[in-house]
A and B are shown apart, each in its own frame.
Chain A
Amino acid sequence: MKKLIIFITVAVLTYTLAVTFKDIPFGENRIGDLNNPGTVSAYYLQKAPEDLHVSNTITAVVVNFRGFDTLGEVTVLFLAATGLASILYRKEDEEEDERITLKSSSLVRTGAKILFPLMLVLGLYVFIHGHLTPGGGFQGGAIIATGFLLMLITYKRFNTNHNVMVWLESIAGLAFVGIGLFGLFRYGSFLQNTGWTGNLNDLVSGGLIPLIYIFIGIKVGTELTNVLDILLKIKPRKN
């Protein structure tokens, strides 16, 4: 009986999916003519290299065409980190400020020392080249936070300087808003970026886009590191 029900469910789902996918023209050119854009996709694909000199169209969309939305995303992450900190931070534990991790083996401790700088370099690379290669501020920041997580769970005495982290995060966030306001006063619209944009495929190109992505990368990296640090310090409640 159970098998019959499973079979019928799977059959119905397969039929529904097949009917839905039957009408979608896979592999067809639905973007249209790039030189004479009739759709939004064609507009982006044409305008990103032409006007902004950014080879990664996704970055152009995320940071420039819907840059205000990205500011909102950064704010959401900031609020999440703040909320977590305000719920989990406990002042009376400040003296025994130790993580709950067990002692790791010497193999892991040596390996973490080798891997940590490599991970930081990879994260920096990903968000500095956000306008040229796949990836960007959020991805690079997440990679950096992963590197810090490795150190935090490997070494009990490894601590990030809280003040430096908070300052970096605040300055990066303020810089993002500042760049937006610069666009507002200089070009007449928030996050506008139509001034000097450099040559296509250069590291220094795209005007304000790499700058914004670097600040986003710093902000995401420090925020996620703080979140991980706080989460690793939760202790079982003493009765």
Chain B
Amino acid sequence: MDTLNNILTYVGLGFVLLGSIFLFLGALGIYRMPDLYNRLQAGTKASTLGAMSVVLGVGLMQPDWLIKLLVIIIFIGVSNPLSSHALARASYRSGIFPFFKKKIDAYEAEVEKEKMSAETHDPASKCGNK
């Protein structure tokens, strides 16, 4: 039992180290990247993985907390990408363009289509609820 706990502690420490490396890289990315979209993906992808593995590492070191921590991991996994998606969408719609010249823009057509349908249909169909 003692050996198992020791092994779990070392694996947990490894996860915490990995997570802190990713968190550091995310912070570096926010500082170094040229425009909003790059910063968003650095800040979200890296920090989601970093926070998740730090929490998982703590859970392996303290097995009593594991269930609670798994719930926290699910929460981070749902909320972090969602918020970055909403931020990116809102910034695109308010007219912030990428730093580099864009080659492919699949979302532009989507926005145009939505605008067209909003003009033709009555306002009641625009409501958020389906």
A binding-site residues for B, Cβ under 8 Å: 101-105, 107-109, 111-112, 114-115, 118, 154-158
- Is B32 at the interface (CB under 8 A from chain A)? no
Q: How far is the CA of A103 from the CA of B123 in the complex (A)?
A: 12
> Other CB < 8 Å A-B pairs besides A111-B79, A115-B78, 9 of them?
A102-B93, A103-B126, A103-B127, A104-B128, A107-B82, A108-B85, A108-B86, A109-B128, A112-B82
Q: How far is the CA of A105 from the CA of B106 in the complex (A)?
A: 15
Residue of B nearest to A121 (CB): B71
Contact of A157 with B128 at beta-carbon distance under 8 Å, contacts A104-B86, A108-B85, A108-B86 already known:
yes
In the assembled complex, the CB of B69 is this many whole angstroms from the nearest CB of chain A, namely: 14
Report the number of A-B residue pairs with Cβ-Cβ less than 8 Å.
Answer: 37
Residue of B nearest to A157 (CB): B129
Q: Is the CB of A108 within 8 A of B82?
A: yes
Q: Is the CB of A155 within 8 A of B85?
A: no
Residue of B nearest to A156 (CB): B128
Residue of B nearest to A158 (CB): B129
Interface residues of B: mostly helix, strand, loop or mixed?
helix
Residue of B nearest to A106 (CB): B130
Q: Is the CB of B89 within 8 A of A105?
A: yes
- Is B75 at the interface (CB under 8 A from chain A)? yes
16 residue pairs of the A-B complex, CB under 8 angstroms, read A101-B128, A102-B93, A103-B128, A105-B89, A107-B82, A108-B86, A109-B128, A111-B78, A115-B75, A115-B78, A115-B82, A118-B71, A155-B128, A155-B129, A156-B128, A157-B128
Interface residues on B, range: 10 to 19
B binding-site residues for A, Cβ under 8 Å: 71, 75, 78-79, 82, 85-86, 89, 93, 126-129
Q: How far is the CA of A118 from the CA of B15 in the complex (A)?
A: 26
Q: Is the CB of B85 within 8 A of A107?
A: yes
- Taking CB atoms, residues of chain A closer than 8 Å to B85 are 105, 107-108
In the assembled complex, the CB of A129 is this many whole angstroms from the nearest CB of chain B, namely: 12
- Taking CB atoms, residues of chain B closer than 8 Å to A101 are 128
Q: Is the CB of A118 within 8 A of B75?
A: yes
Contact of A114 among B78, B86, B89, B93 (CB under 8 A): B78
- Taking CB atoms, residues of chain A closer than 8 Å to B129 are 155-158
Residue of B nearest to A118 (CB): B75
In the assembled complex, the CB of B30 is this many whole angstroms from the nearest CB of chain A, namely: 22
- Taking CB atoms, residues of chain B closer than 8 Å to A115 are 75, 78-79, 82
Q: How far is the CA of A157 from the CA of B86 in the complex (A)?
A: 19
- Taking CB atoms, residues of chain B closer than 8 Å to A156 are 127-129
Q: How far is the CA of A146 from the CA of B44 in the complex (A)?
A: 21
Q: How far is the CA of A158 from the CA of B89 in the complex (A)?
A: 22
Ordered nearest first, which 9 A-B pairs have the shortest CB separation?
A156-B128, A111-B82, A157-B129, A156-B127, A155-B128, A103-B128, A108-B86, A155-B129, A114-B78
